[in-house]
Amino acid sequence: MKGLVLNAEWDPRPNYTITDSERTTRKAITGSSVWRRPRVAIETVPDPKLGPREVLIRPRACGVCGSDVHFYETDKEGYMLYPGLTRFPVVIGHEFSGEVTEVGKDVRDLRRGDMVTCEEMIWCGECTPCRDGYPNQCQRLEEIGFTINGAQADLIAVDAKYCWKINALADRYGSVEWAYEAGALCEPTSVAYNAMFTRAGGFRPGGHVTVFGTGPIGFAAIALARAAGAAKIVAFEVSPMRAELARRVGADIVLNPVELQQKGSPARASIMELTEGEGAAMHVEAAGAPSKTVPEMEESLAVGGKIVIIGRAAERTPIYLEHFQTHAAQIYGAQGHSGYGNFPNVIKLMAAGRIDLTPIITSRFGLTDSVEAIKKATKREDGKIMIRS
């Protein structure tokens, strides 16, 4: 079969100490310190073998993620930008939906023809964090499209326990094709859901919500805040195209933080003004720039307010704890999307028409043109690029 393969050279930076487990598994914990000269190409790869608990899926829609772009982009020394868990070569693609074409002999709840989307995090279910209810912190984590073959391919085999049916989306959208695209958005949407509701426990309806950074996770956070009964939703975004999409998925006001800064009026002032001095019940960090965003958030917290950290950043962020004491405020760290009904609840919200993220899809490519899709994504002029087949 054909797949979009990412390959790179294992060449740890001189100052990076490789652990024994990294050496034996060839799974780099900090990809950007290990993998050099990445390249992507459509290649012929062996068909996946179907295990007894697995289903074979023909991917029909697969989103290009910021991580995929960071696999491809490099720094001055030629190291890839993506800083996370990685093992190459690998077929990339992890935000997908597709049709089940074959089921292993021990699969009970899925059958041929089912429409599904899948978790990307392959949690083991046996390590202590998994058994304690932290699948997103699994110690033996594998990740589809990062450490094991992903969905930018003709076929993928996935254990049935990571799959969720999206047949209901076809009824909502009245189109199987459209439902597959919505299905491929479940993964990034579940990341926002996990952070805001599972980890942080949500906010009370009527609270104000801000979202800093409106990439796909920020768009999902806006739509979910709207569905959960936020009073005002204020977003901060630099790109005019993304600001427009943020409005389309439910933001009331989108402000450009750079323009605000030039005017000498920080984001915190706008938030306090727009919320009539109350502040935000929930601030969502989806910009990956906490050293810039958190100082604005902590000065514009409602009493009992929450800061939810989703964006990734390899930097220290000074915080003024006094605000958290005087406002009975909390800060929540989150990663991943597995467990706690995250995926099925997102699918139900889509099926009920409470959230619709499909307006963020701005380009579509076929699998054979997927290298072009990655190149286009580096220009950062799209909401979400979909690979369709």
Which of residues 143 and 278 has its CB atom nearest to Zn ion in the complex?
A: 143
| Nearest-approach distance from CB 321 to Zn ion, in angstroms | 32
Which of residues 192 and 307 has its CB atom nearest to Zn ion in the complex?
A: 192
Which residue stretch of 8-16, 33-41, 85-93, 138-146 sits at the interface with Zn ion (rule: CB under 5 A)?
Answer: 138-146
Among 124, 231, 272, 289, binds Zn ion (CB under 5 A): 124
Which is catalytic among the residues 32, 67, 270, 389?
Answer: 67
Please give the residues from 48 up to 87 whose contact with Zn ion meets the rule CB under 5 A. Answer: 65
Among 64, 130, 254, 377, binds Zn ion (CB under 5 A): 130
Which of residues 306 and 376 has its CB atom nearest to Zn ion in the complex?
A: 376
CA 49 to chain centre: 27
How far apart CA 137 and CA 244 sit, in angstroms, is: 35
| Nearest-approach distance from CB 71 to Zn ion, in angstroms | 11
Which of residues 114 and 119 has its CB atom nearest to Zn ion in the complex?
A: 119
Which of residues 185 and 280 has its CB atom nearest to Zn ion in the complex?
A: 185
Which residue stretch of 130-138, 247-255, 349-357, 367-375 sits at the interface with Zn ion (rule: CB under 5 A)?
Answer: 130-138
How far apart CA 245 and CA 269 sit, in angstroms, is: 24
Is residue 85 within 8 A of residue 28, CB to CB? The reply is yes
How far apart CA 362 and CA 306 sit, in angstroms, is: 32
| Nearest-approach distance from CB 34 to Zn ion, in angstroms | 20
191 is a contact residue toward Zn ion (CB under 5 A): no
Amino acid in the structure at residue 93:
G
Which of residues 160 and 255 has its CB atom nearest to Zn ion in the complex?
A: 160
| Nearest-approach distance from CB 255 to Zn ion, in angstroms | 26
Burial annotation 84-98 (CB, 10 A radius, 16+ → b, else e): bbbbbebbbbbbbbb
Strands of the 90-91 sheet, one edge to the other: 35-44, 2-10, 90-91
Verify whether residue 283 is a known catalytic residue.
Answer: no
Please give the residues from 1 up to 30 whose contact with Zn ion meets the rule CB under 5 A. Answer: none
**With the C-alpha atoms ordered 11, 13, 14, 18, is the resulting torsion angle positive or negative?**
negative
How far apart CA 323 and CA 243 sit, in angstroms, is: 29
Among 138, 144, 166, 245, binds Zn ion (CB under 5 A): 138
Which is catalytic among the residues 32, 33, 70, 300?
Answer: 70
Which of residues 130 and 310 has its CB atom nearest to Zn ion in the complex?
A: 130
| Nearest-approach distance from CB 130 to Zn ion, in angstroms | 3
CA 389 to chain centre: 21
Query: Position of tokens 């919320």?
Result: 275
Verify whether residue 70 is a known catalytic residue.
Answer: yes
Which of residues 300 and 338 has its CB atom nearest to Zn ion in the complex?
A: 338
Contacts of 162 (CB under 8 A, 6+ apart): 118, 119, 122, 338
Distances (CA, A) of 329 to 181, 193, 268, 273, 326: 37, 20, 16, 20, 8
Among 127, 157, 313, 319, binds Zn ion (CB under 5 A): 127
| Nearest-approach distance from CB 99 to Zn ion, in angstroms | 21
| Nearest-approach distance from CB 243 to Zn ion, in angstroms | 22
Which residue stretch of 3-11, 82-90, 135-143, 204-212 sits at the interface with Zn ion (rule: CB under 5 A)?
Answer: 135-143
Distances (CA, A) of 265 to 56, 105, 299, 319, 354: 54, 62, 13, 20, 35
- 38: which 2 tokens? 């990445």
| Nearest-approach distance from CB 338 to Zn ion, in angstroms | 10
Q: By CB under 5 A, how many residues form the interface with Zn ion?
A: 6
Q: Which residues bind Zn ion (CB under 5 A)?
A: 65, 123-124, 127, 130, 138
Catalytic residues: 67, 70
